[in-house]
Structure 1
Amino acid sequence: MEAKYVIVFSALLFSLIIVGETATTGNWELLKESIGISAMHTQLLPNDRVVMFDRTDFGQSKISLPEEKCRKLADGRIDCSAHSVELNLLNQDVRPLTVLTDTWCSSGALAPDGMLIQSGGSNTGERAVRTFQPCADCDWMENQKGLVVPRWYASNQILPNGKFIVVGGRGQFSYEFIPKSSLPSDFKVFALPFLRETRDAVENNLYPFTHLSTDGNLFIFANTKSILFDYINNRVVRNDYPVMPGGVSRNYPSTGSSVLLPLKLGSIHGTSSAAPDAEVFICGGAPPTSYITAIKGTFLPAAKSCGRLMITAEQPQWVMEEMPIERVMGDMLLLPTGDVLIINGAKKGAAGWYLGREPVLNPVLYQPESSKYEIMEPSKIPRMYHSTAVLITDGRVLVGGSNPNKNYNFTEQFPTELSVEVFSPPYLSSGPRPQISWAKPETELSYKQPISIGFTTKKNGESPLFDKFFKKKSHQRNGELENVSVTLVAPSFNTHSFSMNQRMMVLEINQVRQLSSRTYVIDCFSPPTPNIAPPGYYLLFVVHSGIPSLGRWVHIS
């Protein structure tokens, strides 16, 4: 071969390699220009539809109810505006839903049977419990006395027994359980002095961060402090967690965000633990005075700081890090790979009407294993106060909402936003995805159950030329496939920068068997206890070399 042809071929080969391995920073797509409402609250359902809603007293929305479902207001006027919708992710159809009580700043989570249970709000909705059953033509059902006391800006968490604990709310230093049953404890309100102790002049402890620890107790973080709480016996188990450093408030209205990092239940050749370590990760927020100063016209910079706390450690200590961008009102989402996406929000100000400035358009991807932060491609749409984000089945992130105004207003500096977008993380452009062919059992799982998953992979999408000429090390060892994992992700209820019930587990893998050149079987185990995985629906992903499959719905009972 003549030298010039060798040079040309080598250059072509090098370009193929570089193109194949260049890191991308995600991309955005406008999914729907308008769903008719601003998505203040968002929940993915197990039928791949998404329920979104705002508050019911915003005025005329841009989508109408069927005439037979119009409601009569207290002043006698007839209101035919819908304030809740169902978005079908398969065809982007939007169906208006009827919600009557005021859902402003309420809370929720999915019940074990897949029904959305949603609680609290303001005015007519302050004691309401609403349910939405996933089906083709279902609508909201409402019980205006489903809570014992008013709950506005409260947090919900599903428990190992399938019930929900509702924690806090404006002026409520207590908790209770829903849905109500015949148990006397369901109709009691239990004092939680911690919420009173962490309250400051502007109540920087609303929407407290609640995470179910792997021992079945509840980790509660408010403002800068945290406890581990035994909700069954109404007692604090641990109050020795250190104050989060930095002097930043993390809860509403100095709104940061929080996730429980992925629970690692085992790996190839590893050993499982009935109670793995649990680590909380909290990012962003604002100075305690940010809300008051913003009302007066001065918008303080948001926090860049993040903190990790191993809540199961004998002597836990905060490990502080720093994001590349300041952020208040940001959302933190667990991706199928175990990475954390930090999205939405503003660089200055606080949560509240007209109180945020300098929207943060760039998401940030955080890798817990390396503590690496990477800035992603920006959106063109500011998503500030009352914006939401949830992971959807195909591994993308659905983003909607943003209304820092007192009503539907499209002329303000930051107008009411009715659109929804999807953000595709970098893994969706990093090569072919593994494909799940089958699973045994298919959808119904029990605890500690062996699971077999058949899947195909194209060896991380590497170029055949790369393999042939450079003989790159194969991702196989002794007949097993390396860099593979199985993850379960609980669909979260997202509002006000907190994804309630968000949870992810990395399953214990026994072995990976090769059936053909690109076909494999993973033998793994379901989570061992409901403390680790409360009963309900989860998205199952196979992840190979950092690329997840499409999610597959499974149910644990």
Structure 2
Amino acid sequence: MLSLLALTLGATSVLAQGAKGGEGHVGGSFEDGGNTQVSAMMLFLGNEDTVYILDKSEGNAAQINGHPAMGAVYDIHSRTATPIEVSSNPFCASGAHMPNGSWIAFGGNGAIGPKGEIGDTNNGAYDSSYGDLAGQTSVRVMNPLGCTGSDAVSSANCQWYDDPAVTHLQAMRWYSTAEAMGDGTVAVIGGYSNGGYINRNYPENTDPVWQGGASQPTYEFWPPRDGWKPPVMQFLVDAGGLNSYPLTYLLASGKMVLQANVSTILWDPNSGEEIPLPPMPDNLVRVYPASGANAMLPLTPANNYSQTVIFCGGNDMPDNAWGNYSWPFINTWEYPASPKCHRLEPEPQDGSAPAYVEDDPMPEGRTMGQFIHLPDGTMLVVNGGLNGTAGYSTMTLETLSYSDMPYGMSLASGPVGRPAIYDPKKPTGQRWITEGLATSNIPRLYHSSALLLPDASVLIAGSNPNVDVNLTTVFPTTYQAERFYPPYFSAPVRPQPQNVPKTISYGGPSFDITIPASSYSGSANDAADNTTVVIIRPGFTTHAMNMGQRYMQLNNTYTVNSDGSITLHVAQAPPNPNLFQPGPALLFVTVNGIPSNGTLVTVGSGQIGTQPTAAIAELPPSVRLDSAKGTGAGSSTTGGNGTSTDQTSGASHTGPIVGGIIAAIALVGLLG
């Protein structure tokens, strides 16, 4: 046990800066992402070269150690995947990062045989041909830092540690949520012990707390707290079965906002106090299996790092329509998903009472849509369907025979192949963009996933609304991945920042990043005015959410140099680890809306425990070039929290060659 905790709690590994790449792709397009070997129910970024994939235990053709694979490692550059060993069934697990860059997958389902039933039998004996262990209490640990190329498969350090007899939760947790806290520990919330479509025994609901032994409305922490016994969370009980994968976000105060069914609370993980907040409007359910897209909006200096959560889509079916463990009580695939969006600031900075605010609706209704933070401050929504819910079933109370199910086991229909981009900076009525975005022809319904990659593209994979592998049904098991390239990939050049740090602290001295003149186009002053430095944690993605996903802009000022290069003076993260929990993140520099490749950095100390904090250092004033082409002489800007001054020489360029010429002219002017 101690050796595993050392893996979880150990010192931060050295991280390499991101390689140059990403040019030559068409903005707004999809490309072939290769074969994932297992259906990508869960994804997380291991390092700058690899993505790790988890599936449920099922009859995948890809084999490892004599049984179907449940996991794979995906090489970002070659777009190929290789099976890796996973011992216990991670079906519908939760996941979180740790401060040292390792990742943990919590819980899952029982051991499964062919046809996907726990305790599947063959002539009265358990069929163990899938070779899996029960995973409901499993704590699987992966430390992928330093694992590159073939090492990501061959090295023992790059494999899952997965032994439920050694590392395990206190309670069975299938469909739980994991949320990291400011000290790097993780709260693991809710789930089923066993069950099915939703977490309730209905209509004979004689046991509203435990639902006949299948529900697990409790919480615990990892690493385990001494003497801890998981207490009941009343909020999960009151959610009445629609409490799987509760939507959870850590807030500045150290409390969390939790949302399930139509209820919302503030929860104090230290005291257990539950503070009611207003309910979700319009009877909209966003939690699984309604699976509305949800994310915390970008944290920026401009909004004083205000923590606001957005919820979009989902479903407003009547309560009885949701049914019970076994199946829904209506034909869900006929019921349209909602296009509506709502924002909530759970801890308003102005001291007002928290309230849901309706936002611009999505271009179409969507269930199982997923928000992905992009480095330019916009948010991509991908995957999902126009109708129905997540989950799968062989019947409903309106369609009693599987042979009459129009979409096989799928409880959703109308795959939405066109992405949409949400811009929180735009005024109301103008926040959604679909123009110029291609449409995928691959259905991405239940068990689909998406993840931001270091080159600022998005990996899209998975989809399997079936109990086992099924390649012939209407919406089959999907191994084909795609790479989506947002519109900024149409830019002729991308920033190539230099001197990017390996770590980000909570307060303390600022640092400088240099942007060469050859890696942006247009006026140097304009480029400097429109440059941001952001850290993004892509999160652990599954079931239309990315647990732990965060976007934070670091404050900066700048100096425009006579050779056309730009020196960014960048502040560390605010001295509150609750805003951006300690652990791995990608650092991007975005110039005129065009992002660099991301560099993997470590935020915080790399250790579990109270994070060191310090006052934010004052940034120097921004310095412009007063004769830069395209700007007015003597113009100035504040740029971040600094003030600006002017230099007497100018620099401007439209590309590497022109930039060099104008830099030379600027140098002559400086000497004169």
User: Counterpart of 1:195 in 2: which secondary structure?
Assistant: helix
- Look up the equivalent residue of 1:164 and give its one-letter code: V
Pairing partner for 1:394 from 428, 442, 455? 455
Match of 2:76 in 1: 89
Cα deviations by residue, 1:356-397 (Å, 9 ceiling, x for unpaired): 101000111000011510123211211100000000100000
Match of 1:286 in 2: 315
Map of 1:57-206 to 2, 5 A cutoff?
58-59=58-59, 61-65=60-64, 69-70=65-66, 80-123=67-110, 124-134=134-144, 135=147, 136=151, 137=155, 138-144=158-164, 146-170=168-192, 171-180=215-224, 183-185=225-227, 187-199=228-240, 203-206=241-244
- Is the 8 Å Cα contact of residues 291 and 355 (structure 1) preserved in structure 2? no
- Is the 8 Å Cα contact of residues 48 and 454 (structure 2) preserved in structure 1? no
Q: CA RMSD in A?
A: 2.0
- Is the 8 Å Cα contact of residues 70 and 89 (structure 2) preserved in structure 1? no
User: Counterpart of 1:85 in 2: which secondary structure?
Assistant: strand
Match of 2:29 in 1: 27
Task: State the shift of 1:255 in Å.
Answer: 1.3
Map of 1:212-361 to 2, 5 A cutoff?
212-236=250-274, 238-239=275-276, 241-264=277-300, 266=301, 276-289=305-318, 291-292=322-323, 296-298=330-332, 299-313=334-348, 314-321=352-359, 322-353=361-392, 354-361=410-417
Query: How has the CA–CA distance of structure 1 residues 108 and 475 changed in structure 2, closer, same or farther, with 3 Å as cutoff?
Result: same
Cα deviations by residue, 1:38-74 (Å, 9 ceiling, x for unpaired): 0001111124311101111x12x12121xxx33xxxx
1:107 and 1:529 mapped to 2: Cα distance? 25
Match of 2:571 in 1: 525
Pairing partner for 2:424 from 349, 368, 375? 368
1:398 and 1:165 mapped to 2: Cα distance? 27
Task: State the shift of 1:489 in Å.
Answer: 0.3
**Percent identical:** 33
- Is the 8 Å Cα contact of residues 262 and 506 (structure 1) preserved in structure 2? yes
User: Counterpart of 1:435 in 2: which secondary structure?
Assistant: coil
Structure with higher Rg: it is 2
1:295 and 1:122 mapped to 2: Cα distance? 24
Task: State the shift of 1:475 in Å.
Answer: 6.2
1:218 and 1:296 mapped to 2: Cα distance? 34
Taking structure 2 as the reference length, the TM-score comes to: 0.70
- Look up the equivalent residue of 1:281 and give its one-letter code: I
- Look up the equivalent residue of 1:29 and give its one-letter code: E
1:490 aligned onto 2:537:
yes
Cα deviations by residue, 1:479-510 (Å, 9 ceiling, x for unpaired): x821111110013100001100001101111x
User: Counterpart of 1:39 in 2: which secondary structure?
Assistant: coil
- Look up the equivalent residue of 2:338 and give its one-letter code: A
Taking structure 1 as the reference length, the TM-score comes to: 0.84
Pairing partner for 2:513 from 449, 453, 459? 453
1:210 and 1:451 mapped to 2: Cα distance? 33
Task: State the shift of 1:95 in Å.
Answer: 2.0
1:62 and 1:546 mapped to 2: Cα distance? 43
- Look up the equivalent residue of 1:297 and give its one-letter code: N
User: Counterpart of 2:281 in 1: which secondary structure?
Assistant: coil
Query: How has the CA–CA distance of structure 1 residues 457 and 503 changed in structure 2, closer, same or farther, with 3 Å as cutoff?
Result: farther
Map of 1:403-482 to 2, 5 A cutoff?
403-439=464-500, 442-449=501-508, 450-456=510-516, 461-462=521-522, 474=523, 476=525, 481-482=528-529
Match of 1:12 in 2: none
Query: How has the CA–CA distance of structure 1 residues 460 and 530 changed in structure 2, closer, same or farther, with 3 Å as cutoff?
Result: same
2:163 and 2:267 mapped to 1: Cα distance? 29
- Look up the equivalent residue of 2:37 and give its one-letter code: G
User: Counterpart of 2:311 in 1: which secondary structure?
Assistant: strand
Cα deviations by residue, 1:88-110 (Å, 9 ceiling, x for unpaired): 11223422111121111111012
Task: State the shift of 1:458 in Å.
Answer: 5.7
Query: Which structure 1 segments of 5+ residues have no match?
Result: 1-23, 71-79, 463-473
Task: State the shift of 1:517 in Å.
Answer: 4.0
Task: State the shift of 1:191 in Å.
Answer: 2.1
- Is the 8 Å Cα contact of residues 295 and 355 (structure 1) preserved in structure 2? no
- Is the 8 Å Cα contact of residues 524 and 564 (structure 2) preserved in structure 1? no
1:46 aligned onto 2:75:
no
Match of 2:589 in 1: 542
Pairing partner for 1:503 from 530, 550, 553? 550
1:448 and 1:252 mapped to 2: Cα distance? 37
1:95 and 1:516 mapped to 2: Cα distance? 49
Task: State the shift of 1:173 in Å.
Answer: 1.3
User: Counterpart of 2:461 in 1: which secondary structure?
Assistant: strand
- Is the 8 Å Cα contact of residues 25 and 377 (structure 1) preserved in structure 2? no
Query: How has the CA–CA distance of structure 1 residues 204 and 430 changed in structure 2, closer, same or farther, with 3 Å as cutoff?
Result: farther
- Is the 8 Å Cα contact of residues 254 and 291 (structure 1) preserved in structure 2? no
- Look up the equivalent residue of 1:483 and give its one-letter code: N
Task: State the shift of 1:122 in Å.
Answer: 1.0
- Look up the equivalent residue of 1:100 and give its one-letter code: S
Cα deviations by residue, 1:228-279 (Å, 9 ceiling, x for unpaired): 111012112x32x221212121111111121011111x26xxxx96xx3210
- Look up the equivalent residue of 1:487 and give its one-letter code: V
2:106 and 2:250 mapped to 1: Cα distance? 19
2:79 and 2:367 mapped to 1: Cα distance? 30
Query: How has the CA–CA distance of structure 1 residues 250 and 515 changed in structure 2, closer, same or farther, with 3 Å as cutoff?
Result: same
User: Counterpart of 1:216 in 2: which secondary structure?
Assistant: coil
1:457 and 1:382 mapped to 2: Cα distance? 43
User: Counterpart of 2:162 in 1: which secondary structure?
Assistant: strand
1:226 and 1:460 mapped to 2: Cα distance? 45
Cα deviations by residue, 1:272-327 (Å, 9 ceiling, x for unpaired): 96xx3210001110123465596653520001001011122122221213111110
- Is the 8 Å Cα contact of residues 116 and 132 (structure 1) preserved in structure 2? yes
1:458 and 1:154 mapped to 2: Cα distance? 48
Query: Which structure 2 segments of 5+ residues have no match?
Result: 1-25, 111-133, 193-214, 393-409, 606-672
